[in-house]
């Protein structure tokens, strides 16, 4: 499996505090069957103003430590970009930290926000060749209810990828708008499922409970599409199709 949403680099956001914590998360993910991750630390100035070069240095350090410990986990570039003018402008100018070959990028908004010109700004980045991936769409007020689902469908039909968290699927309905995660999945809107793990403690909720819930809802075809094929396509900057129930 390939997990394109992890907070695995130490000391730079709300992920692991130390290298030991970071390596414990890497080990837990690897033991859960994850072979590749994107290190998507937050880029959220001024709280977490992470820049590409320090992120690259930390990824290289992590790769060295994983090799020394014999942990087989590939680390891809990435970041969880905060939706705000400054961060979007920097992505438009070739900054930020997209995935893999530099086209797809992960972006989050505040759960209760309804940013002005949200859809238009994403479309404008698409016209520049970028591919937005919306992080944990199940959390957002703008996608609540029937009107919200229609809005999300509109974005997905324009080639924007909707990501949900494995942990939310496992928690079922009622938590963090967890019902939305299942509904979006069964409506065929979801193109990517990730762990969004911040520590090794998050791994069982994602890769035991959450993965079982995904298997129950969509079978092996959903796991293959959402945790292997589509992540690989996003790393290569290719189009992805949301998983559709049979």
Report in angstroms how near the CB of residue 147 gets to Fe ion at its nearest: 26
Is 48 or 123 the residue whose CB approaches Fe ion more closely?
Answer: 48
Q: In 223-243, which positions are buried (b, 16+ CB within 10 angstroms) versus exposed (e)?
A: bebbbebbbebbbebeebebb
Q: Where are the beta strands (DSSP E) in the chain?
A: 2-6, 36-39, 42-43, 74-76, 80-82, 104-108, 131-134, 161-165, 190-194
Is 28 or 221 the residue whose CB approaches Fe ion more closely?
Answer: 28
- Please say whether the beta carbons of 106 and 125 come within 8 A: no
Report in angstroms how near the CB of residue 67 gets to Fe ion at its nearest: 26
Report in angstroms how near the CB of residue 46 gets to Fe ion at its nearest: 18
Write the CB contacts of 193 (distance below 8 Å, at least 6 apart in sequence).
163, 164, 165, 166, 169, 214, 222, 226, 227
Q: Which residues bind Fe ion (CB under 5 A)?
A: 80, 196
CB atoms within 10 A of CB 144: 16
* Residue of 119, 37, 126 whose CA lies nearest to 80: 37
Is 106 or 189 the residue whose CB approaches Fe ion more closely?
Answer: 106
Q: Give the pair of three-digit tokens for residue 44.
A: 């959220």
C-alpha–C-alpha distance, residues 80 and 159, integer Å: 19
Report in angstroms how near the CB of residue 177 gets to Fe ion at its nearest: 16
| 132 alpha carbon, distance to own chain's centre | 11
Is 21 or 80 the residue whose CB approaches Fe ion more closely?
Answer: 80
- Please say whether the beta carbons of 66 and 60 come within 8 A: no
Is 21 or 196 the residue whose CB approaches Fe ion more closely?
Answer: 196
Is 112 or 120 the residue whose CB approaches Fe ion more closely?
Answer: 112
Report in angstroms how near the CB of residue 202 gets to Fe ion at its nearest: 10
Report in angstroms how near the CB of residue 42 gets to Fe ion at its nearest: 7
Is 80 or 202 the residue whose CB approaches Fe ion more closely?
Answer: 80
Report in angstroms how near the CB of residue 205 gets to Fe ion at its nearest: 14
C-alpha–C-alpha distance, residues 242 and 14, integer Å: 29
């Amino acid at each position: 499996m390939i997990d394109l949403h992890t907070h695995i680099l130490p000391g730079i956001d709300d992920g692991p505090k130390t290298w030991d914590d970071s390596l414990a998360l890497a080990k837990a993910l690897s033991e859960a069957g994850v072979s590749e991750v994107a290190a998507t630390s937050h880029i959220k100035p001024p709280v977490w103003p992470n820049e590409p070069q320090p992120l690259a240095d930390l990824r290289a350090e992590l790769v060295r430590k994983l090799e020394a410990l014999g942990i087989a986990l590939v680390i891809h570039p990435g970041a969880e970009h905060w939706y705000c003018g400054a961060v979007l402008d920097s992505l438009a100018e070739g900054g930020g930290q997209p995935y893999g070959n530099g086209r797809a990028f992960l972006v989050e908004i505040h759960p209760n926000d309804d940013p002005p010109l949200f859809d238009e700004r994403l479309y404008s980045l698409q016209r520049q060749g970028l591919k937005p991936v919306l992080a944990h769409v199940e959390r957002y007020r703008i996608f609540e209810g029937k009107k919200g689902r229609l809005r999300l469908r509109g974005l997905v039909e324009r080639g924007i990828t909707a990501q949900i968290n494995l942990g939310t699927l496992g928690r079922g309905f009622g938590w963090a708008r967890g019902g939305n995660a299942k509904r979006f999945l069964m409506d065929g809107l979801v193109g990517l499922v990730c762990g969004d793990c911040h520590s090794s403690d998050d791994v069982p909720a994602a890769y035991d409970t959450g993965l079982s819930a995904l298997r129950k809802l969509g079978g092996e075809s959903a796991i293959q599409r959402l945790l292997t094929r589509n992540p690989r396509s996003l790393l290569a900057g290719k189009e992805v199709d949301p998983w559709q129930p049979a």
